[in-house]
Copies of this chain bind each other. A is one copy, B any other.
């Protein structure tokens, strides 16, 4: 049981990219003038959350492949179009990096970004979960702005 493949490498990338397509639709649906201004309960704006996601996704895959954990932590406000462009670039980068992850790497203990220890597969899942979590926040922001978000089940 212990080494049964519950989720294959191929399926995990597909799964992740499906989530990324949904998050992209949410960014597209988000009113540009609210992207870096609107929030609820003192939480971060959706724009800030998306910038966080951008500094985690491709940099995580790059770190898992190369051991290079530098990331830009770019938190500068940007027009939506620029954010979507960065999103698409990340998507491409993920697709390119993914097949370069050695099979055994997924089960290895790494220290992501020099400070987060964990099994590589858990570190990757964390980045995906963090996207789902913050996007869930984005759903509430959007609804409270009177905008119908894209359906969760569509990937």
Number of interface residues of A (CB under 8 A): 46
Copies of this chain, complex-wide, total 2
Q: Which of A110-155 contact B (CB under 8 A)?
A: 119, 121-122, 124-126, 129-130, 132-137, 139-146, 152-153
Residues of B near A125 (CB, < 8 A) are 7, 15
CA distance A10 to B119 in the complex (A): 13
Best-buried of A137, A139, A140, A144 by chain B (most CB within 10 Å) = A140
Q: Which residue of B130, B136, B143 is within 8 Å of A40 (Cβ)?
A: B143
Are B6 and A11 in contact (CB-based, < 8 A)?
yes
- In the complex, the chain B residue whose C-beta lies closest to that of A129 is B132
CB distance from A36 to the nearest CB of B (A): 17
What is the 8 Å Cβ interface bit string for chain A, positions 2-29, against chain B (1 contact, 0 not)?
A: 1111111111100100010000000000
Are A140 and B12 in contact (CB-based, < 8 A)?
no
Residues of B near A130 (CB, < 8 A) are 152
